[in-house]
Chain A
Amino acid sequence: AQKITQTQPGMFVQEKEAVTLDCTYDTSDPSYGLFWYKQPSSGEMIFLIYQGSYDQQNATEGRYSLNFQKARKSANLVISASQLGDSAMYFCAMRETAAGNKLTFGGGTRVLVKP
């Protein structure tokens, strides 16, 4: 079974609107972390936001927020007020404590922001 699933291969969003990127995960480890990375066309991996499995509140970082639904095993990324510079690939990743600090990545979602 896939550990990290991103079901949206690509999506368009209008500039200044919000967009939600889906991520579901599968683990039996009670202690884990969920990460979102952005990969622009230049290729580098940019860390955006982190959510720990024991965190009581959803993580937020500027325009990024993580909608963490533990029972559903989902960790969706919400980007508010989209900007043209948000056009990129977005990857969800999970770290399971029992597996050390190794990250398992989803297949990614490509976001294109339209002016």
Chain B
Amino acid sequence: NAGVTQTPKFRVLKTGQSMTLLCAQDMNHEYMYWYRQDPGMGLRLIHYSVGEGTTAKGEVPDGYNVSRLKKQNFLLGLESAAPSQTSVYFCASSYSQMAAGPTDTQYFGPGTRLTVL
């Protein structure tokens, strides 16, 4: 049981390049999320998904796209990377929003450190 995994762990891009970050979870969670964490700050939500085939915008969605073709995977794409997207990216998953309790807890992956030059 690996929990939430992220690929790759590190990546360096040049401005204008594209890339896809992969998040996978083996907990059969319905909800998945992508966050970014800038130095000295908390996490900010980029996009999220409430189930296979669905996606929705979070707090800072511009410059990113996502897809949830399979329940266990959530992809984050950068079509044309910019230096402002240099950050650590975290994926998370949770069971659902229906249970009003700690079962809603989001479990995080180890993060991907992205640098855009």
Asked if residues A43 and B110 are in contact (CB atoms below 8 Å), the reply is yes
A 81-115 binary contact with B (CB < 8 Å = 1; else 0) = 00000000001010101001111111110000000
A52 contacts B41, CB within 8 Å?
no
Known: A97-B100, A102-B33. A107 touches B42 (CB 8 A): yes
Residues of A within 8 A of B (CB): 4, 31, 33, 35, 37, 43-45, 47, 50, 52, 54, 91, 93, 95, 97, 100-108
Cβ-defined contact, A101 with B100, below 8 A:
no
> Contact string, B42-54, partner A, CB cutoff 8 A, digits 1/0?
1111001010000
In the complex, chain B residues whose CB is within 8 Å of the CB of A107: 40-42
The verdict on A44 contacting B97 (CB below 8 Å), with A33-B104, A102-B45, A107-B41 known, is no
On chain A, the residues within 8 Å of B48 by CB distance are 100, 102
Chain B residues whose C-beta falls within 8 Å of the C-beta of A106 in the assembled complex: 42
Q: Are B42 and A105 in contact, CB atoms less than 8 angstroms apart? A: yes
Residues of A within 8 A of B88 (CB): 43
Q: Are A101 and B94 in contact (CB under 8 A)?
A: yes
Contact, CB under 8 Å: B111 / A50: no
How many pairs, one residue from A and one from B, have CB atoms within 8 Å of each other in the complex? 68
Whether B105 and A52, one on each chain, are in contact in the complex, defined by CB atoms closer than 8 angstroms, is: no
Given A52-B102, A91-B42, A103-B106; 14 other pairs, CB 8 A cutoff? A43-B88, A45-B43, A47-B106, A50-B102, A91-B43, A100-B48, A100-B50, A101-B50, A102-B48, A102-B58, A103-B33, A103-B92, A105-B43, A108-B40
Bound together, the chains give a CA A107 to CA B38 distance in angstroms of: 10
CA distance A107 to B58 in the complex (A): 18
Would you give 30 A-B contacts (Cβ < 8 Å), ordered by A?
Answer: A4-B42, A33-B104, A35-B105, A37-B108, A44-B111, A47-B105, A47-B107, A47-B108, A50-B101, A52-B100, A54-B100, A91-B42, A95-B104, A97-B100, A100-B48, A101-B31, A101-B94, A101-B97, A101-B106, A102-B58, A103-B92, A104-B45, A104-B59, A105-B42, A105-B43, A105-B44, A107-B40, A107-B41, A107-B42, A108-B41
